[in-house]
Amino acid sequence: MIVSLPPWVNRSFAFFSFALLGYLLRYAYAPYQFWWVAPISIATFFALIARYGASRLRILLIFTFQFSFELHLLWWSGIYVGMLPAVFLALSQALLMALPFIFWRTTAKSSLPACWLLGEFLITHFPYGGFGWGRLGYIGSGPVSLYSIGGVQLFSFAMLIVALALFSRKKTVIVLSLFLLLLGYLPSKIFSTTNKDLDSIKVTYVQGNVPRMGLDFNKQRQAVLNNHVKATETIDSKTDLIVWPENASDVDPLIDPVRSNLVDLAFRMKSPILIGGVSSQNSKILNISFLVRPNGIYDPVYVKRHLAPFAEYLPLRKIAEFISSDATRIHDMTAGTREVAFKVGKSTISPIICFEILDDGLLKEKLHSNIWITQTNTATFGYSAEAEQQLQIIKVRAIEHARPIVAVSTTGPSAFIDERGSITFKSNKFEQSTATKLVHLSNSTTLADTLPWEWIVMVLSFLPLAIRQRTR
């Protein structure tokens, strides 16, 4: 005897299933890095939404999947300010990801990747410059040579094609997915120009650590600066460059006495120091990176250009402060307007401050340099997975653009990453440390650098739909 369940039970089970699938997708990302979870969970997602036709329930289920995924991936964004900001961020990301599926029809199964990629385009660019932390391209494990060929966009496309192959079982899609996976496991160096015989530079990072985690970090400014000074003084070997993280000197480093003390430190260490700090100029608060040379010369200051909304400035401030009193802790910063690079010997150094690593266009403006330094402050995210996720994104960018990267963080992990994406050294979290390595400079150009892959992948994903419409 078959017992039919009430409609509300079926709907509840459907919502639970989609939420579970979104939660499982989280495990494809750092720190877990089970990349194969992504195509399996997305293939199941494709199969389930195909059962619901053009109904409002289908859109709600798609939103549920995306919201569950984004919330579990980004829960760290509310670790010290309450979960409301994290829920708001996950809601906005899920809405944008779900929006293109409104126009999807069950008869056009091959266009499912196009809907997903269009969603990724939206979260990468909107609102407020975008925050595409959950792009499939940031998984960073598995067929990673795809990054050298077509960047983050091609990796996302490949994961979706593998998912479509599992879902549709069409021979052409299966062959394409196998071809993409094969490319992704070939050596990445064959997809870039040969690196000219450049020199090397000896770099030392300083992970000064903080007295305690949380938003009170900003009340510990002098202690954090002292930590980085003391850790720097322990460096006992000659190095070409010392790098400090973001917010290492939030006691304004461009005015005395801090300025003079930093010049004196560089003189005593006989090495230039790349410092991340916060400065106030003409009533504007700036997130900066600047080079202090032993001779006392300050190079032009780099001001962070892509500020993080709801962290470094607050859109809709009145509404945000009404929702959470912690919003009053955020003081609006002013974004920089130009690229700045630093010369040390034969190296040309581009600083990348924290979430700027997400900005595709901004990174392409830094290809004139042969080494990148990413400076970040992970103290405000405590013991969450944010630091590991960010380091994985940095690794992705190293492969994509064939640039060695020194990633330095206040609380870790800090790391040396070569131009093939191999992490050659990684620090422990939540401890003071320094490390020195010889970094080989690279001015290689990858295929990802030469072609507009964001648009190429979008066109390829819509191609099956266009062919289908033409043959009707």
Residue 1 has what pLDDT?
44
Q: Is the per-residue pLDDT at 216 higher than 60?
A: no
Q: Is the per-residue pLDDT at 264 higher than 70?
A: yes
By the 10 Å C-beta count (0-12 exposed, 13-18 middle, 19+ buried), 456 is classed as middle
Residues 378 and 409 sit within 8 Å (Cβ to Cβ): yes
Tell me the pairing of strands 371-376 and 241-243: unpaired
Residue 197 has what pLDDT?
62
Strand partners, 202: 438
Read off the amino acid at residue 132. Answer: G
Return the percentage of the chain with pLDDT > 90, whole number.
74
- Angle among Cα 26, 28, 31 to the nearest 5 degrees reads 85
Residues 6+ positions from 358 with CB-CB distance below 8 Å: 124, 130, 131, 132, 133, 306, 393
Residue 319 has what pLDDT?
73
Mean predicted confidence (pLDDT) in 420-433: 96
More confident residue, 460 or 205: 205
The position carrying tokens 């199964």 is: 109
Whole-number Å distance between alpha carbons of 309 and 320: 12
More confident residue, 317 or 96: 96
Mean predicted confidence (pLDDT) in 35-45: 97
pLDDT band at residue 21 using 50, 70 and 90 as cut-offs = very high
Strand, helix or coil for residue 87? helix
Measured CA to CA in angstroms, residue 240 lies from 100, 237, 422, 437 at distances of 50, 10, 22, 10
More confident residue, 139 or 325: 139
Mean predicted confidence (pLDDT) in 240-262: 96
Which element (helix H / strand E) includes 207?
A: strand 200-207
Mean predicted confidence (pLDDT) in 150-166: 97
Q: Is the per-residue pLDDT at 54 higher than 80?
A: no
Residue 470 has what pLDDT?
55
pLDDT digits (tens, 9 = 90+) for 168-182: 999 999 999 999 999
pLDDT digits (tens, 9 = 90+) for 449-470: 999 999 999 999 888 766 655 5
More confident residue, 472 or 170: 170
Read off the amino acid at residue 13. Answer: F
Name which of 70-84, 151-165, 295-309, 339-353 the model is least confident about. 70-84
Residue 330 has what pLDDT?
74
Q: Which CB contacts under 8 angstroms, 24+ apart, belong to 326-330?
A: 326/80, 326/81, 326/82, 326/215, 327/81, 329/81, 329/215, 329/218
Mean predicted confidence (pLDDT) in 99-108: 83
Whole-number Å distance between alpha carbons of 392 and 419: 14
Q: What is the mean pLDDT of the chain?
A: 91
Residue 105, Cα to own-chain centre: how many angstroms? 32
Residue 79 has what pLDDT?
81
Residue 282, Cα to own-chain centre: how many angstroms? 31
pLDDT band at residue 80 using 50, 70 and 90 as cut-offs = confident
Residue 309 has what pLDDT?
83
Buried b (16+ CB within 10 A) or exposed e, 140-177: bbbbbbbbbbbbbbbbbbbbbbbbbbbbbeeeebbebb
pLDDT digits (tens, 9 = 90+) for 357-409: 999 999 999 999 999 999 999 998 888 999 999 999 999 999 999 999 999 99
Q: Where are the beta strands (DSSP E) in 308-383?
A: 342-344, 347-353, 371-376
Which element (helix H / strand E) includes 436?
A: strand 433-440
pLDDT band at residue 82 using 50, 70 and 90 as cut-offs = confident
Return the percentage of the chain with pLDDT > 70, whole number.
93
Mean predicted confidence (pLDDT) in 189-208: 88
Q: Where are the beta strands (DSSP E) in 221-341?
A: 241-243, 273-281, 284-292, 302-303
pLDDT band at residue 472 using 50, 70 and 90 as cut-offs = low
Whole-number Å distance between alpha carbons of 51 and 396: 35
Mean predicted confidence (pLDDT) in 266-287: 96
Residue 141 has what pLDDT?
97
pLDDT digits (tens, 9 = 90+) for 305-327: 999 887 788 877 777 777 667 67
DSSP collapsed to 3 states, 144-165: CCHHHHHHHHHHHHHHHHHHHH
Residues 375 and 244 sit within 8 Å (Cβ to Cβ): yes
Mean predicted confidence (pLDDT) in 327-340: 88
pLDDT band at residue 218 using 50, 70 and 90 as cut-offs = low
Name which of 167-171, 192-196, 345-349 the model is least confident about. 192-196
Whole-number Å distance between alpha carbons of 278 and 341: 18
